[in-house]
Amino acid sequence: MMNPINNLNAERILSTITDDGAWCWFADPRALRHVNVATGSDKTYIGYIDVAGSIQAFQYDHATHEHKQVRVRAGFQEDDHNNPTFLALPDGRVMIFYSEHSSSPYFYYRVTTQPDDLATLGPEKIIDTMGYGNTTYPSPFVMTDQPGYFYLLWRGVHWHPTVARFSLPDQVGDVSCDMEPKQIVDSREDEHETGKRPYAKYVSNGKDKIMMTYTYTHPDNMNPNSLYYSYLDVNTLTLHGADGHQLADLNREPLKLNNHETDPAYLVDRQPDTRNWNWDIAIDREGYPVILFVRINEQKDRHHYCYAKWSGSEWRITQLADGGRWFHQNDQREHCYSGGMTLDHADPSTVYLSIPSRGKYGDDIFEIHQFVIADDGAIAQSYQVTENSAKNNVRPFVVRNASKDDSYYLIWMHGDYYYWDHTQGRLGYTTGLWTLT
């Protein structure tokens, strides 16, 4: 299906990647452009889960314009939390991770047998995290200060952010755990508490730091719900605030969270009667973190989008837009589900937002908008990317390493959405993925 578009680029059109696909926003990268200098390959990989619970991947070759569709795993758990994530390995092979939604202590992964080509995926293999919690939201990183390894972060120990280090896959795709999983933060008031669930987003400088932003818990469960930032030094396994001071040594214990924290280099935002939830984190040209988050009111029917940037001494917060209320058609559950936001990680001054907008189908269809944020935090530019849509456009994502003029630069979910679970006769995520080409 093709429709004209006149915003990001007058020559571009809206194009459907799939009519049957969804993703959550806490496992990344969901889509990745990888240029392999050694082989000359230039491809984009896009992952999602369909309503049958199959893990799917889409591959686009920028040189030949060839498309490939690869089913990574059939008959998986029918849950949009389970979208796959990608890791481009130093030898050019591509690794895909996926897991169930906190119902088993296993990560599943596959590695291509040839560089660059998802059609050559090897057999499915398992990372066993038994004893370190169940698995959700795999986020992998390769760090140049730690050659021969990759880091995997996920929601694991006690339902909290967790990190482990593994050897890079060998010739047959096997890996080994080089560093036992470590809980990063702990929001429990005592060791027997089970209800707290911090939500984390991660980004790496590719060398020695993994930056992260995380909440105190799920916004449904706490009001106010604080939002934090810290970075992990992978060489020392110490956790630091934005100004560099040490917060915790993970070799000893996780960082104990305090929902009344006031440390300005650590606490990003805490407002009375406000439920914070994080959407993205990137690194600006100065090496400082940029964070997207939403402030949700007590009743959960007003979602306000915010942009936070570390200035070197404080968090500068820009209120971006009124995000309306929850985007989906289910009035009974998940009222903290905003339409969503994403940063262009190559240029974090550029933000894409899903905002309820007026069009020929009414006032409350969620459309994609682009904002450009000036150095002083002001909104320098804004325009609407999609318009007059019959159904919602939500959970946008800028493909990692992509440029604005690329095909498959910006991707989002389009369609009707009722719930993250599509099992047991439930009506769940009846969406597709759309892009600009």
Per-residue pLDDT tens over the stretch 385-417: 999 999 999 999 999 999 999 999 999 999 999
- Say what the pTM is: 0.97
Residue 98 has pLDDT above 80, yes or no: yes
Per-residue pLDDT tens over the stretch 350-385: 999 999 999 999 889 999 999 999 999 999 999 999
Residue 68 confidence (pLDDT): 97
CB 225 within 8 A of CB 250: no
pLDDT above 90: percentage of residues in the chain: 94
pLDDT band at residue 8 using 50, 70 and 90 as cut-offs? low
Residue 256 has pLDDT above 70, yes or no: yes
CB 265 within 8 A of CB 243: yes
Residue 55 lies in a domain: no
Per-residue pLDDT tens over the stretch 267-285: 999 999 999 999 999 999 9
Which tokens belong to 278? 């994080």
Residue 1 confidence (pLDDT): 32
Mean confidence (pLDDT) of the chain: 96
Residue 391 lies in a domain: yes
How confident is the model over 241-253, as a mean pLDDT? 98
pLDDT band at residue 9 using 50, 70 and 90 as cut-offs? low
How confident is the model over 413-430, as a mean pLDDT? 92
Residue 32 confidence (pLDDT): 98
Residue 226 lies in a domain: yes
Residue 71 lies in a domain: no
Q: Name residues whose C-beta falls within 8 Å of residue 194's C-beta, 6 or more positions apart in sequence.
A: 158, 159, 188
Nearest residue to 50 (alpha-carbon basis) of 77, 86, 30, 68: 77
Residue 129 confidence (pLDDT): 98
Per-residue pLDDT tens over the stretch 71-82: 999 999 999 999
Pairing mode, strands 200-204 and 267-269? unpaired
Residue 254 lies in a domain: yes
Q: Which residue do the tokens 């060489």 mark? A: 235
Task: Please give the residue range of the domain that contains residue 138.
Answer: 103-436
Domain total in the chain: 1
Residues in the chain: 437
CATH number at residue 406: 2.120.10
pLDDT band at residue 15 using 50, 70 and 90 as cut-offs? very high
Residue 399 lies in a domain: yes
Beta strands per DSSP E along 1-156: 2-4, 13-18, 31-36, 41-49, 55-61, 67-73, 85-88, 94-98, 106-111, 125-128, 139-141, 149-155
Residue 169 lies in a domain: yes
Per-residue pLDDT tens over the stretch 289-303: 999 999 999 999 999
